Structure 1
Amino acid sequence: MQSETTVDAAEVAKFEAMAAEWWDPSGKFKPLHDMNPCRLDYITSQIAAEFGRNLADEVPFKGLRLLDIGCGGGLLSEPMARLGAEVIGADAAAGNIPVAQIHAEQTGLDIDYRNVTAESLAAAGERFDVVLNMEVVEHVSDPLAYLSACHDLLKPGGLMICSTLNRNAKSFAMAIVGAEWVMRWLPKGTHEWNKFITPDELYDLIRRAGLDPVDRKGMVFNPVAWSWRLSDRDLSVNYVTASVRRD
């Protein structure tokens, strides 16, 4: 059985301290609320393409078992459930789980939220069609071991969507100086720049974990329009990847 080696207790504590603010669109998680439509656009299009689903259907993801690892308050788990997926939301920060559970109950959604790690789920034999791994890999202690657990959580033919932050001067300026120091959307120290991962580094880690990366796009913020968009070329700060388990 794999040990829970990739959980960084200090990183978990940061997000647990902010748990009650998950559903406040003007609070500490404002950047995720603003980014969510862009993230969902990518996630839904990749799932639909991989599994031959029509997004115009009422519940296009019916029959798919989906894991939202690092689910937080459920910002992605809830729309996935509305689209018909069987959703398990997992988070190492125990304080996030009751927040997510209460919000799901208030909105009439049946989501299985668990205070558990990717490694323990994999060791228990849990398997999924889709793993959402969004803004988590830059917070773990061992990215390769963590991505290997995500591989093990996928059924053959399963899809992992993984997003993170590039490591360069621009990402430091925007994600740390801008978001934490100037705008104060997040407490100082939420992100550690040296843990950011370049797109080529992430592709290499994904391959070493046994997955086949098939797509990547940037998520680009426009401060004038105050909106996010997907980009084929600009992966300089936030970006997202899609990978498939072939075996």
Structure 2
Amino acid sequence: MNAATINPQEAAHFGALAADWWDPHGSSAMLHKLNPVRLAYIRDQIDLHWHVDARERYALAGRSAIDVGCGAGLLAEPLARMGAAVTGVDAAPENIAAAKAHAAGQGLAITYHAGELAALPAATFDLVTSMEVVEHVTDPAAFIGELAARLAPGGLMILSTPNRTMWSKLLLVEAAERVGAVPRGTHDWDQFLKPEELTEMLEGAGLEVIDRSGLSPSAAKGFKLGGSEALNYLLAARWPG
């Protein structure tokens, strides 16, 4: 496959947020609240998939990982700290510049690319992640196909995305953008995917969905795993067999 899935308007929108991506109180504050919960899910799936002891610090030692739609590296850096050889790719050059600068400051060796996933050198990865990205591309099915093409045999793919429900329209789009919890124009509710739709795309790419979890608001922690999928959910997939 060699699909072009970047939406230039979306890339420009997120590129404009690059300067304060790492500020937990800035325009990406919601991502900073989401990230620990997403990381917990990713770690659980890594441990289950590769039979890793939950106490192991370097759960991805000797493995490769790619984070697609990596922004300024909010997920790529923790994956590197787990021992993975990490590649990050993002549509916005501004995000990649910020990601490279931050990783250098942390002493982390992460390979970053700006542009289409399909334009990267041919390679597959043990872990493929793409968080809150599929709802921003021009052709979700083609994008999922590109992700699948990057997944190595025996590998693990993890995705997260908002659900297309009335709750997500009210809370993630209308309320969150009105009060400034997320920047205006971040979400297009019509582009959200229901779990069944995303599952069908993954299966169409030859993958098998092995787990799904809701990601819902929590008064104590901001967000929590499990429970309702009405706002957001995570999926884990692999090659069958």
TM bracket (short chain): over 0.9
Match of residue 204, structure 1, among 188, 200, 204: 200
Name the counterpart of 2:190: 194
Instruction: Please tell me whether the aligned partners of residues 119 and 146 of structure 1 are also in contact (alpha carbons under 8 angstroms).
Output: no
Instruction: Please tell me whether the aligned partners of residues 46 and 59 of structure 2 are also in contact (alpha carbons under 8 angstroms).
Output: no
Name the counterpart of 1:105: 104
Name the counterpart of 2:163: 166
User: Could you give the per-residue CA deviations for residues 196-217 of structure 1, whole angstroms, max 9, x where no partner exists?
Assistant: 0011111111111111111100
4+ aligned runs moved over 6 Å, structure 1: none
Structure 1 residue runs of 5 or longer lacking an equivalent are: none
Query: Is structure 2 residue 60 aligned with structure 1 residue 61?
Result: yes
TM-score, normalised relative to structure 2: 0.96
TM-score, normalised relative to structure 1: 0.94
Deviation at 1:58, TM superposition (A): 3.0
After the TM superposition, which residues 1-247 of structure 1 pair with which residues of structure 2 at under 5 Å, given as runs?
2-3=2-3, 5-121=4-120, 124-182=121-179, 184-222=180-218, 224-231=219-226, 233-246=227-240
Q: Which amino acid aligns with 1:32?
A: L
Instruction: Please tell me whether the aligned partners of residues 27 and 185 of structure 1 are also in contact (alpha carbons under 8 angstroms).
Output: no
Deviation at 1:148, TM superposition (A): 0.4
CA distance in 2, matches of 1:140, 1:113: 19
Instruction: Please tell me whether the aligned partners of residues 130 and 160 of structure 1 are also in contact (alpha carbons under 8 angstroms).
Output: yes
User: Could you give the per-residue CA deviations for residues 34-59 of structure 1, whole angstroms, max 9, x where no partner exists?
Assistant: 11110000001101211122231231
Deviation at 1:226, TM superposition (A): 4.6
CA RMSD of aligned residues (A): 1.3
CA distance in 2, matches of 1:163, 1:20: 24
CA distance in 2, matches of 1:112, 1:73: 12
Q: How many residues align?
A: 241
Deviation at 1:105, TM superposition (A): 1.0
Structure 2 residue runs of 5 or longer lacking an equivalent are: none
Q: Which amino acid aligns with 1:24?
A: D
Q: What percentage of residue pairs aligned between the two structures are identical?
A: 41
Secondary structure, aligned partner of 2:173? helix
